[in-house]
Amino acid sequence: MSEPKKLFIKTYGCQMNVYDSERMAEALGGQGYVETKSADDADMILLNTCHIREKAAEKVYSELGRFKGLKADKPDLKIGVAGCVAQAEGQEIMRRQPLVDLVVGPQSYHRLPEMEAKTRAGEKALDTDFPEEDKFEKLKNRPKAKRGPTAFLTVQEGCDKFCAFCVVPYTRGAEVSRPADRILREAQDLVERGVREITLLGQNVNAYHGAGSNGEMTLAGLIWELNKVDGLERIRFTTSHPNDMADDLIEAHGTCDKLMPYLHLPVQSGSDKILKRMNRSHTSESYLRLIERIRAARPDIVMSGDFIVGFPEETEEDFQATLDLVEEVKYGYAYSFKYSTRPGTPAAERAQVDPQAADDRLQRLQALITRHQREIQDAMVGRTVRVLFEKPGRLPGQMVGKSEYLHSVHVVGPEISSGDLRAVRITESRANSLAGALL
């Protein structure tokens, strides 16, 4: 038998890309590829790119430039660009960087095997269409490999919200939900391979409305179906839009035993003026009332969010409104970003905020978020949580896992295995994790 070819995938950006990279590796596994951790010995390099912030395209070009030497040494090396930069730039990538053999958009990953074959025949392969088919259905082909205890499962892709700063509606296309039966089959398969916690993924996951056995199913409906899967212990989902937090989903947070008490619900800003300019179609008040309802259903829920500071026309007063909102919600986790222009989005045309002011706001916001994060973590000390153990820690005999609330918990216990779900009493709160002891 010939040596397997080696595939190196570098993944940028969100969990959706992590999931997609796994599927791409599986698809190319069918072509005789095994994954390698280094670009140096690869026969194929794929950059799975992200376009959401930063100067994404420029970064990709400079990364590609670095492969020049590799390709000179190994003319058979194939180089591909996947993900949202591939979608946004398309053919332009091959024009600017002739090293590139393959450009594939997120909706075309199931076509990778034939695209790879094309590159082996010495041709260039480009596919950035938005076909009307379930790429994941076409991507499942490999023998059942054992998996770790946690996995992502994409249930929905794309977005129809068109927030004024965001490229997702352009790079990932319109909102599409996968049919429920396929998701349930995939979940069942993951569980058979050792998975105990599934995070349902979607750019706008709570807008899920896939075909179910009795018409359309909501995300809550899907979660209730997953709740019945034996061996699956935990369900999470991300990322949600406030306007799609339906009543049945809020209720599920109080009643569905496998749904974890953690919710990522980006608000982006606390200023109604800015929210309006962002085309968010909710106000800070409606967001706060929503959180009240979620907390009424599940009082211990840990909230997480995303923020953009320095959005065009954000004044100090607008920013203060964001701080006020954060103060009121108290996030257990939050991700804050300085606004960055994404060409082609409506906000790109507008007057930018002074970068120094934006830097300063970002620091102040992050300081406040970190303080709350720490307070919420510290409040866990003395409490008993359930930890799903994932991997060994750095110290001998130590294992690390996640609590219901997504806190990392370190426990010394040589008898603990990956995949164990155990009650742990929290004894200490550290910078970014908790420590505890088995009960």
**Closer CB to ligand 5AD, residue 158 or residue 266?**
266
Q: What is the largest distance, in Å, between two alpha-carbon atoms of the chain? A: 68
Smallest distance from ligand 5AD to CB 310, Å: 9
Which of 11/36 has CB closer to ligand 5AD? 11
Cβ atoms of residues 202 and 155 within 8 Å: yes
The answer to whether the CB of 260 falls within 8 A of the CB of 385 is no
Q: Which of 44, 94, 166, 205 binds ligand SF4 (CB under 6 A)?
A: 166
CA distance 143 to 397: 32
CA 102 to CA 115: how far, in whole Å? 7
Q: Which two tokens stand for residue 133?
A: 């088919």
Site for ligand SF4, residues 191 to 220, rule: CB under 6 A: 203-204
- Going by C-beta distance under 8 Å and a sequence separation of 6 or more, which residues neighbour residue 57? 51, 85, 88, 89
Q: Is the CB of 159 or the CB of 426 nearer to ligand SF4? A: 159
In the block, residue with structure tokens 């706001």: 361
In the bound state with ligand SF4, the residue whose beta carbon lies nearer, of 9 and 164, is 164
| Residue 161 in the binding site for ligand SF4 (CB under 6 A) | yes
The residue length of the chain stands at 439
User: Which partner in ligand 5AD, ligand SF4, none is near 264 (CB below 5 to 8 A by kind)?
Assistant: none
118 versus 342: smaller Cβ distance to ligand 5AD: 342
**Residue 358 in the binding site for ligand SF4 (CB under 6 A):** no
What φ, ψ does residue 270 adopt, rounded to 5°?
-100, 0
C-beta of residue 212 within 8 angstroms of C-beta of residue 180: yes
Query: What one-letter code names the amino acid at 40?
Result: D
Q: Does 245 bind ligand SF4 (CB under 6 A)?
A: no
Cα separation, 303 vs 318, whole angstroms: 22
Out of ligand SF4, ligand 5AD, none, what residue 162 binds, judged by CB under 5 to 8 A for its kind, is ligand SF4
∠ CA 254-330-429 to the nearest 5 degrees?
90
Out of ligand SF4, ligand 5AD, none, what residue 284 binds, judged by CB under 5 to 8 A for its kind, is none
- 169 counts as binding ligand SF4 under rule CB under 6 A: yes
Find the binder of ligand SF4 among 28, 79, 104, 159 (CB under 6 A).
159
Is residue 276 a contact residue for ligand SF4 (CB under 6 A)? no
249 binds ligand SF4 (CB under 6 A): no
- CA end-to-end span of the chain, whole Å? 51
Under the rule (CB under 6 A), what is the footprint of ligand 5AD?
52-53, 165-166, 266, 268, 306, 308, 337, 339-340, 342
157 within 8 A of 106, measured Cβ to Cβ: yes
Nearest Cα to 12, choosing from 143, 106, 121? 106
Among 68, 69, 142, 162, binds ligand SF4 (CB under 6 A): 162
Q: Which residue is nearest to ligand 5AD (CB)?
A: 306
Residue 188 or 341 with smaller CB distance to ligand 5AD: 341
| Residue 410 to residue 392: CA distance in whole angstroms | 9
Q: Identify the DSSP state of 75.
A: T
159 binds, among ligand 5AD, ligand SF4, none (CB under 5 to 8 A by kind): ligand SF4
Shortest gap between Cβ of 306 and ligand SF4 (angstroms)? 8
Could you list the residues that contact ligand SF4 (CB under 6 A)? 159, 161-163, 166, 168-169, 203-204, 241
